Structures are given as structure tokens and as C-alpha cells.
Amino acid sequence: MRVRRLGLVLICLGALAGCARQWQYDKPGVPDAQRAAAEEECRKANTVPRVSRPIVISRGRLESYPFEGVDRHGYDLCMEGKGYAVTRD
């Protein structure tokens, strides 16, 4: 019984972790080219070696990010530091 519950919990966690999220960075009056340049700069500054689904505490929540080769938390902080509002769809 205990093994069955553990299996169910693991399956549910896996399903939740697999949900894709889209991040968007908004700053009124900034052209797309300037936003893309800021994103590239933050991406280069936060490139990480491959790991399996990094888990971080972000804004008081435990979050698991899909591996993108980027430290998503650091990337968000970088974009916020440049004045962009981070939104998740």
C-alpha cells in the first residue's frame, strides 16, 4: 500500500514537473531588438552545465525548471535587474 502511494506521488510530481512554462519579459517602450540583446546577455551570464531538472526556491516557492542550459532563477534576476518585469504564462 505504501509503495503504491509513493508511486502515485512520484507520477503526479513528474507530471507537474513536465508542464512547460513560458517566461516573458516586459518593459514598456523597449524595442524587440533591445529586449533580445538583454535576454542574450543574461543567457550568457547564466549558462550552466547540464543537470537534471534544477530545483530552486523562488519567491517563497519551490520551483523545478526544465533544463535549458540556463540558470532560470539567475536569468530572471538578471532581467529584473535590467528593469524588465518577469511574467509567466
Is 72 a residue whose pLDDT tops 60?
Answer: yes
Residue-by-residue DSSP string for the chain:
-HHHHHHHHHHHHHHHHT----EEEE-TT--HHHHHHHHHHHHHHTB----SS-EEEETTEEEEPPP-SB-HHHHHHHHHHTTPEEEE-
In a domain, 69, yes or no: yes
In a domain, 16, yes or no: no
Is 64 a residue whose pLDDT tops 90?
Answer: no
Rounded mean pLDDT, 51-65: 72
In a domain, 61, yes or no: yes
Number of domains in the chain: 1
What domain range includes position 40?
A: 21-88
Q: What is the pLDDT of residues 6-24, one digit of tens each?
A: 665 556 555 444 444 567 8
In a domain, 34, yes or no: yes
Q: What is the pLDDT of residues 29-56, one digit of tens each?
A: 999 999 999 999 999 999 877 666 667 7
